[in-house]
């Protein structure tokens, strides 16, 4: 799929800059039109635009349910998807995956990649309310992953195994890609430093 319009949706603009920038640049270098959608938390939307991407602000609220903001975020995604009509949607982190997938269904966009960087605290419930929240999230994942053209990326085998065993995702539509990637021109191995002398401690 060359020259495609790809819409990357993340929870916050700084997360895109730190974890998905190189990925987006690689897509652009291959001739794709890449659009970024995220909440603005650290004023980095202009930096993303200066890098040559179109940036759209979405009012996500991270880390908690925020009913009005979540509804606004979902409507904003529906409008964006209907206006852009991307060839491929790339969602990462929980709210972009869940809300973005539901918005994609309304906009009749079938091709979706959902990248799960980690399961977060919701999958480690410590109370009755937390277990109820886990049931709601698990049910939502199961629903949004049902499409034939939906693919899910995990970063470790344990997360993928859990989702497959609980029938939240089909094994055939999921894959493990270990980590978000490392720019080897910026981060590279160096020799280990010579061992330093252990610190000296004196009693009083």
Residue 87 sits in a domain whose CATH number is 3.40.50.2000
Q: Give domain status of residue 182, yes or no.
A: no
Distance CA 149, CA 193 (A): 49
Low-confidence ranges of the chain (pLDDT < 50): none
Q: Give domain status of residue 186, yes or no.
A: no
Per the DSSP assignment, residues forming a β-bridge with 90 are: 8, 113
Q: Give domain status of residue 27, yes or no.
A: yes
Q: Give domain status of residue 199, yes or no.
A: no
> Six-digit token pair at 164?
């497959």
Q: Give domain status of residue 190, yes or no.
A: no
Range of the domain at 123: 5-176
- Tens digits of residue pLDDT in 116-147: 998 888 888 888 988 998 999 999 999 999 98
User: Tokens 């939906």, residue?
Assistant: 150
Q: Give domain status of residue 97, yes or no.
A: yes
Number of domains forming the structure of the chain: 1
Q: What is residue 63's predicted lDDT score, i.e. its pLDDT?
A: 79
Q: Give domain status of residue 195, yes or no.
A: no
Q: Give domain status of residue 197, yes or no.
A: no
In sequence order, the 6+-apart residues with CB closer than 8 A to the CB of 186 are none
Cβ atoms of 55 and 48 closer than 8 Å: yes
- Computed over every residue of the chain, the mean pLDDT equals 91
Question: Strand, helix or coil at 192?
Answer: coil
């Amino acid at each position: 799929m060359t020259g495609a319009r790809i819409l990357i949706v993340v929870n916050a603009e700084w997360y895109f800059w730190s974890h998905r920038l190189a990925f987006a640049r690689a897509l652009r270098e291959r001739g794709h039109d890449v659009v970024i959608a995220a909440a603005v938390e650290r004023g980095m939307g202009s930096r993303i635009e200066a890098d040559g991407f179109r940036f759209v602000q979405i009012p996500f609220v991270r880390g908690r349910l925020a009913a009005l903001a979540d509804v606004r975020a979902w409507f904003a995604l529906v409008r964006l998807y209907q206006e852009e009509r991307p060839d491929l949607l790339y969602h990462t982190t929980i709210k972009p995956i869940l809300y973005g997938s539901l918005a994609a269904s309304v906009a009749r966009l079938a091709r979706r990649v959902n990248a799960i960087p980690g399961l977060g605290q919701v999958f480690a419930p410590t109370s009755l309310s937390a277990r109820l929240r886990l049931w709601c999230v698990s049910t939502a994942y199961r629903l949004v992953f049902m499409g034939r053209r939906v693919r899910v990326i995990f970063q470790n085998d344990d997360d993928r195994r859990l989702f497959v065993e609980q029938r939240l995702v089909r094994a055939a539509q999921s894959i493990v890609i270990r980590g978000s990637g490392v720019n080897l021109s910026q981060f590279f191995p160096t020799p280990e430093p010579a061992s330093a002398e252990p610190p000296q401690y004196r009693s009083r």
